[in-house]
Amino acid sequence: MQIHSSFINGRYSTPNSKKINVINKFDGRVVSKVTYCTEEDIEEAISTSKLAFEEYKNFSAGKRYDLIAKLVALLEVKKEDFATLIAQEAGKPISYARAEVLRCVSTLKFALEESRRVGGTVVPMDFSHGENRNSFTQKFPIGPIIAIAPFNFPLNLALHKIAPALACGCSIVLKPSPYTPLSSLLFAELVEQAGFPKGVLNVVLCSNEQSEYLVKHETFKMLSFTGSPKIGWMLKNIAGKKKVTLELGGNAAVIVDDSVDIKKIADDIAVGAYLYAGQICISTQRIIVEQSIYAEFKELLIGAIQNIAIGDPLDEQTIVGPLIDKEHLRRVESWVEESKNSGATILCGGRVLNEDQNLYEPTLIENHSNTDLVFCEEVFGPVATISSFKDFNEAITLVNDSKFGLQAGVFSNRLDRIKQAFNELEVGAVLVNSIPGFRIDHMPYGGVKDSGLGKEGLIYAISDMTEEKLLVL
């Protein structure tokens, strides 16, 4: 069995004795063993990232474009390999894993386009004591970046950090999740094959303590983190003078009013709640339905949930695969039990389907308390709640009754309600007649409140990874 180590300065580091297993999340087989960084590996990752930046920042936009174009071509050849690897190490249904890889190609293509558009602005000067002067700004890459990526989109969420860095001239050190390090390591091989300077992308497999050391290190000029709010805000506090972008959790809500055809949307909302066992930051977790259609919609939704395929991620029909590990399985089980014991009604699901395979049944809960964990926290599992509203103002209040604010969906054909939702919902994005889980990789993506700080999406990330410098003539 192959043992993977960190990818630093264009090569794999020497494996050491501290090894962990990367397992197939469905059947428990060991996919690979990985070995954590030594202190020497960490220092090499830092120093080579700094050296690579000094070289790469001077590449022309055209040269960066050509390298990224080679990288796109290499990834397209390896699409199925990446999809299978993601399905195994992340437990992601193979159809959704393929969709992730296609999004990765798109993310890189957006970077390709933006690499030739990292420009500045003309600043008007020809008045007052600036007469007869001209001025413009130019964007310069800020320096090496430290990035931390989660398990649920092990390649595309890494690329939301890597791709803009490559487009604008920064080097980057990436720490992937220990659950899912293999796809990032395989991608680092492609970066090397494409001909980027060694050290432009270093992928480090390291402990939490080593991660904190990297975040604190003065070499890095920006932290880009995707993960839990608890860890994200802690890292921000220790990051020092760095720029910080945080993409954190959510408990996304969707409002359904009586102006829409509920038969057409029940299936979409069911998939939006339970796809990939709900392990998506913008999974539909809170479903809020107008009272006049509540009973009918509830029955349609239960029917849609019961038709969802559960099982092996490598089965083409699977929508709900395994949770990432036993700890998450037990947490989801305990949260549902807490809600049930406090008086909630389990409309469907509510049990572990197969403990060995980390499968939890798609679960829908009503009559819950707004203080139940399944409502007020991020479940990150195949669990959703459903409740009703009489007045649209009440629906807005229910959505906003959350410490999170990432994205929300509003199913309505009433323009007045759509306008009100956009003006009043405390979220980073409002999706009209769509589940909140919609995302295209160039769009601004980020939340408010505990859901994060800053935006991802290629031009928005590039803006954070560059500094504008003014020239006056």
Which active-site residues does the annotation give? 247
Is 146:90 a contact under the CB 8 Å cutoff?
no
Cα–Cα distance for residue pair 64/8, rounded to 1 Å: 20
Cα–Cα distance for residue pair 398/416, rounded to 1 Å: 18
Cα–Cα distance for residue pair 244/454, rounded to 1 Å: 8
- Run of H or E residues at 233: helix 229-238
Is 288:387 a contact under the CB 8 Å cutoff?
yes
Cα–Cα distance for residue pair 174/158, rounded to 1 Å: 8
Residue 112, token pair as written in the block: 């390709």
Report helix, strand or coil for 238.
helix
Q: Which has the closest alpha carbon to 452: 151, 285, 244?
A: 244
Q: Which has the closest alpha carbon to 272: 120, 437, 78?
A: 437
Cα–Cα distance for residue pair 223/172, rounded to 1 Å: 10
Q: How many CA atoms lie within 13 A of 326 on its CB side?
A: 5
**Is the C-alpha dihedral spanning 469, 144, 188, 158 positive or negative?**
negative
- For residues 238-250, b (16+ Cβ closer than 10 Å) or e, as one string? ebeebbbbbbbbb
Query: Alpha carbon of 393 to those of 65, 290, 424, 429: distances in Å?
Result: 49, 11, 10, 18
Residue 353, token pair as written in the block: 């389907």
Is 160:461 a contact under the CB 8 Å cutoff?
yes
